[in-house]
Structures are given as structure tokens and as C-alpha cells.
Copies of this chain bind each other. A is one copy, B any other.
Amino acid sequence: MARHTYLAMKTPAEARDIWLENVLRRCAAPGEERVPLAQAAHRVLSRPAEALRSSPAFHGAAMDGIAVRAEQTFTASMRDPMTLEIGRDAFWVNTGRPLPEGCNAVIKVEDLHRGQDEGHVVIEKAAFPWQHVRKLGEDMVATEILLPEGQEIGPCEIGALAAGGVTWPLVWKLPRVAIIPSGSEIVSLADAQEAELRSGQSLPEFNSLVFSAMLRDAGAVPVTRPIAPDDPEALRRALESAVEGGADLVIMNAGSSAGSHDFTADVIAGMGDLLVHGVTVMPGKPTALGIVSAGGRTVPVIGTPGYPVSAIVAMEEFVLPLIARWRRQEPRSRETAEVVPCNPIASRPGMEERVRVKLGMVGGALYAVPLPRGAGTVTSLSRADAIIAVPRDCEGLDAGAPVTAQLLRPRAQIESALLAVGSHDNTLDLIDSMLRRRMPSCRLTSAHVGSMGGLSAIRKGQCHVAGCHLLDEESGIYNRSAMRTHLKGVPSLLVHLVGREQGIIVMPGNPKHVTAFADLAREGVTFINRQRGSGTRVLLDYELRKNGIAWQDIAGYREEEYTHMNVAAAVLSGRADAGLGVRSAAQALGLDFVPVGMEEYDLVIPAVHAGDWRIAALLDVIRSQEFKAAADAMGGYDTRRSGEIAWEYDGN
């Protein structure tokens, strides 16, 4: 039954237009309801709200003092003071209280003089009519329109409605959105068994949690339905039941592609109209949009891809705009900014690509470092500062050429972050947390491109800090020689971060008996390497040469990973028997570690940034006992010299 092809692909904009036009025309939008004011925040008025009562509802005192009839006081003056009898000519009133019958002015307590007794006061100035009086209706008059139709209710609107006596405003109902997770191996996060997850026997379902949070923020009510198996009939029943159950919109998650186990598009077509299947956006291509009918209700349905990054693109492109339309609001638009890609960004012509990037404001420009682009790379979602959309007719973006990006965080937050580009070390994450704890506005955002990549970013003025551990093969000294070679003309500080124990990471018990570099070339030993330009790779190549080992003799030498943790994971999973990396990575995954020596892991900071308050905050953290203790606890670090200025490079 499953279709193996998409319909004619649509661009995201075309697909959205088709979807919104059809849904708004053919499906019932959520109706109106009255809600108590205490629950009205973030709701949207479905009709103009008219004041039911005037505010103030009476003529009231605007000051503490006495209420009088102004005309009676007209002859009072300094020369001819007037005595007023309390209870007859004048009446004590406090701010906000109604004027007694017949009074039309208030004389404030500071302007009163003592009379012959408590029952009298003396005034030396006439009151003019309505002085210090808040008049009936001064703020609003009953029947006036207080707030227009389509107004979102915030705290101030609650105040205005309450003052006008509108205690149950009429608002648009919240759209109910049913989420149907599907997939035969999928289990809910709560039911997930660790062993089954590790073996791949089951996959945890969490897109429904992500969708629910997005939907609530957008002003809808998510309802997650039971997980449906990859079976057309079961999916049809699940969809039918969601529609009949009162959903205003149904999201079917996973199975929206055109593979042999993807039934969403056919299920939609079988119950109504499949409007769109296949969108020229990456990630997000396998999206299905349609309208189905069941139990007398006609309801929009979207089939979203299963990979989280694709799924979120589908939500943002199609679901959130529809909910905004139902709320009669403009879809929330993101702030945009001009950013400069640090690296070229490749793109497939014919597809609009959404590339998530980290940003750093360095010397007046926002530099963008692309994050890994896999549709399953959830960390690219949480780490991203912005999204760059590469247009459909374009083969990619050049490094250095400004482009527009949509910001995912407040601009001030992005601009106040320090951008670290270069080698990665786990202590950088530690520093980020500690910086934020000390100063919520300060953070360290880091992109992992290896030591050489970091020096290159420093040279181009594209980052504040670069983690670096490059051994000079001749001198055996770290980093200085590389700085002289690559940072000529860029005076920089070399700040010692940590000494790191490097070694060979092996399975617990070291089953292949790897005890030295020579063992890596042994028959039956598979190695996992680091990428070119990383300090660890430089160290390996140095050691191989020193020990007279040909790289061609090492099985797996060409397999590259980008981080210590990924090297450790490769060993843990049996993909490789050994990899070179830091002790903390081995320790984190419970692996064994064959030490080969200590290396210097330093931070390179251009002298132009040395006076920046954020750099000062960074150095404070690195020099703190708190940091040293936490790094020591991770294992394999020597923090005795952390924060020392190892070298001031003058650029020559």
C-alpha cells in the first residue's frame, strides 16, 4: 500500500500557502468561549471588549483632605480666611473614596489650617470646582471599546478589563492539537528500558514532548495520543479517533517519507485530501500536508518527519503559522541579523537548506560557525544561536560573505557571549557553566574545529578565544611555534588552561594488550583516529614518526572522529580497539587508559580582546579554586598552573 514517491515537490512557501488556504477555507476554526479574567492571560479577544462600567465609577478624592462645595469657598483668601465646619461644610475624605453628595472639590490636608476645635478647619484659598477630584469616567466610560478584537491579553489588558467590569471576556478557544507518535520500535520515554534502548531494540519517543512545548508556547493545547505501530490500518484508526475525539489539528509523527514503511501520506489520502507531500527544504523534506474527514468533522493533518531537526522545521513552517492564523495573530517572527559565515556552507541546489549556527560578536561583526547538520542531531537544536536559510537556487554560501540569519536567542545574549573556536576540551563546558553562575549575561559558546582551525579563526578575527594544544615536533614545546607560524601580525596571549594526560583509550581490561604506539600497527588491532588539524592528531603523527611506525600499517588510521568523546565512544562500541585521547574521556565512559604523556592545553586570546571584561571574567573562573577542583575531579587534568599567562606573543 505504501507509496514510494512524493507528489510534485513544493517549496516551503508554496506548501504553506496551499495548506493555509485550504485549511482556513475548508476546516472549522476553533470557536469562541468566555474565560474568567484570572485565566485569560495570553488569550486573544474574539470581539472588541466594551467597558461594562465606568472607571472611576463615581467622583472620588484624588488626595487626602476635605471634600467641599467649591462655590462655598470662593471668598476665602489669606486676608480673609474661611472657617469650615466638619460634617456640614466639609467632610474628611481619603484618596480614592467617593465625594459626599453635594461636594465637587477636595482641599488637600497640607492646605488646611487648624480651626477652633477638632470640628472646624480653616482655609486661606478658594477651591475651584473639581480640583483634586477623579471624576466619574475619567479613565473609561461604560460602553467604550476598551480593547479591540484580536488583542492578546497581557497583564495590562487584564487590568483594563477588570477596571471596566469585564470579568469573563470572550476569547478564541485554544486549538486542540492531537499528536500521534508512530513507529513499531518506538516506546514512550517513561516506558523506555535502558538495555533495549542500548541495543536499538526500542527507540525513545520524545518528539511529542518537543511538539507539546512548542504548541503550548504558541497558544494551543497539545494532546499526545497512544503510540501507533507502522501499520496503515492502525494509523488510519488512530487518525480517525483523534479527529472524532475533537482535535482541531492532528500531527502524525514519523512515517511521512516515501519509504516502504511510511504510510502517513496514504492514510491521509485515504481519508481525505493529500495536499502536499514532499517539500524542498532540508531538513524537513518528507512532510505531508492534508485534510481528512471523520465523524462529520473535517480537520487538517500534518505528517512530520521522524528525525527531530526535520520535525521541528515542519512544525515551524506549517503548524505554528496555522495556529497563529487561528489566533488571528501574525506568526511570531524572529529577529534577524547579518552574520558572517566562518566556513563555506555547502548546499544542495533545488533545496532550501536551514543551517543552524553558533554566533559570536567579535570586533563588531557577528561570526557564524555552522553546527553539524544531521537531521537526527538534536544537539544542533539546543546549541544553535541562529538559523541561516540557504536559498533553493544556490549551491552554498561563501565564507566571509555576510548573510541574514534568524536569531534563536535574544540578541543581547548572543552579543555578550565569548566565542571559542578551536580544539574542544570538556573543561570548556565547565567554564561556561561557571561563567553563567557568576554573571547570567556572560557565557562561553564554543565550536569544535580542532587546534589549527582555532588559530585560523583567531587570525581572521572571527573568535575571542581558541583552545589549542599543538606540539612542536622539534622543540617539544606546545603552541608557541604554531602561533609564530600561523598568527604572524596578531599579537596574542597564550593562557595556560590545563595540563592534560593523553593516552591510548582501550576497552576495560585492555583485551588487545595495547601498551605503546607500536601496538597500534599490530595485526588485529583497529585504531580510531582524530581529524587532521587537531592537536591529538599532531601528537599521534609525531609519535609515529618518532617510533618509526608507518601510518599505512595502522588499521583504521583513516577513520576520523572530531572529539575525544567520540573516539572513546568508538572504542566502547567495538568499532575500534584503540584511540588516542584524554584520560577524562576514557574515565567518563569507564574505559581503560594507557598514558603516553602530559600535554599543554592552552587558550589563545588575541591581545585586542585582552581588556574585554568577559575575558577578565573568564580568567577569574579559570584561576578559581572552584574550577580547579571540578577539573581535577574529571580526571587526567593538571590544574596547578591554570590561568597563568604562559606567553605574550608580540606578533613577530
Contact = CB atoms under 8 A, between A and B. Distances in A.
Interface of A: 37-38, 41, 47-48, 53-60, 64, 94-98, 104, 129-130, 134-151, 154-160, 162-163, 165, 167, 185, 189-190, 194, 197-201, 203-204, 206-207, 209-214, 216-217, 259-261, 306, 308, 312, 324, 328-330, 333, 372, 374, 376-379, 381-382, 384, 410, 412-413, 426, 429-430, 432-433, 436-437, 440-441, 443, 559, 563, 565-566, 568-570, 572-573, 575, 588-589
Nearest to A216: B41
A148 B443 contact: yes
A165 B189 CA distance: 8
28 contacts: A37-B209, A48-B433, A55-B378, A57-B198, A57-B200, A58-B198, A97-B200, A98-B201, A135-B566, A135-B569, A135-B575, A136-B569, A137-B565, A137-B570, A138-B566, A140-B379, A141-B565, A141-B589, A142-B588, A143-B565, A148-B443, A150-B440, A156-B210, A158-B209, A159-B209, A159-B312, A328-B440, A333-B410
B259 A64 contact: yes
A131 B308 CA distance: 22
A497 B359 CA distance: 51
B148 A436 contact: yes
Contacts of A589: 141-143
A23 to B, nearest CB: 16
A512 to B, nearest CB: 17
Contacts of A156: 210, 312, 378, 381-382, 384
Nearest to A64: B259
Which 10 residue pairs are nearest across A and B when measured between Cβ atoms? A98-B200, A137-B569, A162-B206, A143-B588, A156-B381, A145-B429, A160-B382, A150-B436, A141-B565, A58-B200
B381 A573 contact: no
A148 B350 CA distance: 37
A212 B432 contact: no
B381 A64 contact: no
Nearest to A573: B136
Contact of A189 (B37, B146, B148, B329): B37
Contacts of A588: 141-144
Contact of A378 (B141, B163, B306): B163
Contacts of A144: 426, 429, 565, 588
Contact of A160 (B129, B157, B381): B381
Contact of A162 (B146, B189, B200, B440): B189
Contacts of A38: 209, 212
Given A378-B159, A575-B104, A145 B95 contact: no
A629 to B, nearest CB: 15
Contacts of A157: 382
B167 A189 contact: yes
A185 B48 CA distance: 31
B135 A570 contact: yes
Nearest to A153: B213
B440 A329 contact: yes
Contacts of A54: 569
B150 A433 contact: yes
Given A189-B162, A433-B148, A139 B378 contact: yes
Nearest to A98: B200
A103 to B, nearest CB: 11
A308 B83 CA distance: 36
Nearest to A142: B589
A119 to B, nearest CB: 18
Given A98-B200, A162-B204, A329-B440, 20 more contacts: A48-B429, A98-B199, A98-B201, A104-B575, A135-B566, A138-B376, A141-B569, A143-B588, A143-B589, A146-B379, A148-B429, A148-B436, A156-B312, A158-B209, A158-B210, A159-B207, A159-B378, A159-B382, A163-B206, A330-B441
A139 B214 contact: no
A163 to B, nearest CB: 4
A162 B379 CA distance: 11
A173 B145 CA distance: 41
A536 to B, nearest CB: 16
Contact of A94 (B146, B151, B259): B259
Given A48-B433, A210-B158, A95 B259 contact: yes
A413 B152 CA distance: 12
Contacts of A165: 194, 197, 204
A382 B146 contact: yes
A436 B149 contact: yes
Which one of A47, A60, A98, A150 has the highest number of Cβ atoms from chain B below 10 Å of its Cβ? A150
A94 B261 contact: yes
Contact of A433 (B145, B376, B443): B145
Given A41-B213, A167-B189, A330-B412, A381 B159 contact: yes
Nearest to A434: B149
A136 B572 contact: yes
A55 B309 CA distance: 14
A53 B97 CA distance: 65
Contacts of A210: 155-156, 158-159, 162
A68 to B, nearest CB: 15
